[in-house]
Amino acid sequence: MSEFPSANVVVTGASSGIGQAVAETLARPGAVLVLAARNADALNAVAARCREAGARVVVIPTDVTDAAAVRKLAEQARIFAGTIDMWVSNAGVGAVGRFHEVPVRAHEQVVRTNLLGHMNDAHAVLPIFLDQGFGTFVNVISVGGFCAAPYAAAYSASKFGLRGFSEALRGELSGYPHIHICDVYPSFVDTPGISHGANYTGHRLSAPPPLLDARRVAAAIVNLLAHPKDTVMIGAGAWGGRLAHMLAPATTARIMNRLLTRYLASADTAAATDGNLFAPYGDEGHIDGGLRSWPRSRGNRRILAIVILLTVLGLAVFRRRATRPED
């Protein structure tokens, strides 16, 4: 970041988790931040922390599923900052449950936010990038863009679709060397997303270890200002999941389904909830979800062992193929 002391950055989904971590990582004297999400109170709390660090900040409550609102966000951001160096498209929601037991409107909202919301972001800011001749657009996707997640069918559809959207967009913009489309694929991250998300399983949800600190993901995103890359994988789980899917997608999905089914069978019961799908969560927002600890239960230890095994096997096969002499 020393190369960009006065970076002008828009962050959507900035009210908690990765988005909040990105904002606080960027915050320093000379930085100009435009923070967007649906929860105005949470955004203002994040903005206060960033201003204390010396950044100039504006809060613009925005629902990324509303294309007109996102266009207004981009226009206001350009007026406030003058130029936009980076747009971090980070808003996302989830709904967990068997596909046929999750309401269709919930599936629709996941796709509307995670895919169409990011497309709205890009559609609003790309004309600005083209006019100013530079800019970096960051799609925060997740390992779910490569590995399908049973019990989260709409989430998987949205993330697979987002990966395809980014690849197509990079092709269109290949003639503009100073405009970059960057994809970030972290493995499971310890954020409030699990507790804030929709849950139709009837059981309390957690996330499989090992979990990333959202600040590590934020640091990788901020690094794209100085060193833009098409694809950034974060965490051994992301690499392992991608390689496992590449080698045996059906087997990987079956293993994930078996693990999730066993986990839910032993998890505490919980009431069904729409979570933050249709309205922002009521609390102030936090970076951490409180899930990042060494797994103590037998089920969690089994999940961790399988994640590590898939990672090691995937890397071994990948290296063998990479070093195999050509025919």
Please give the single-letter amino acid code of residue 58: V
- Structure-block tokens of residue 263: 């986990």
Kind plus residue range of the DSSP H or E element containing 155: helix 153-172
Side-chain-facing half-sphere of 248: CA atoms under 13 Å: 12
CB 56 within 8 A of CB 33: yes
Is residue 155 annotated as part of the catalytic site, yes or no? yes
Q: What's the rounded Cα separation, in Å, for the pair 302 and 48?
A: 42
Q: What's the rounded Cα separation, in Å, for the pair 45 and 42?
A: 5
CB 99 within 8 A of CB 50: no
- Structure-block tokens of residue 244: 């496992």
Q: Which residue has the tokens 């929601």?
A: 93
Task: Write down the catalytic residue from 155, 185, 263, 281.
Answer: 155
- Structure-block tokens of residue 148: 């399908």
- Structure-block tokens of residue 106: 């919930």
Give the residue numbers marked as catalytic: 155
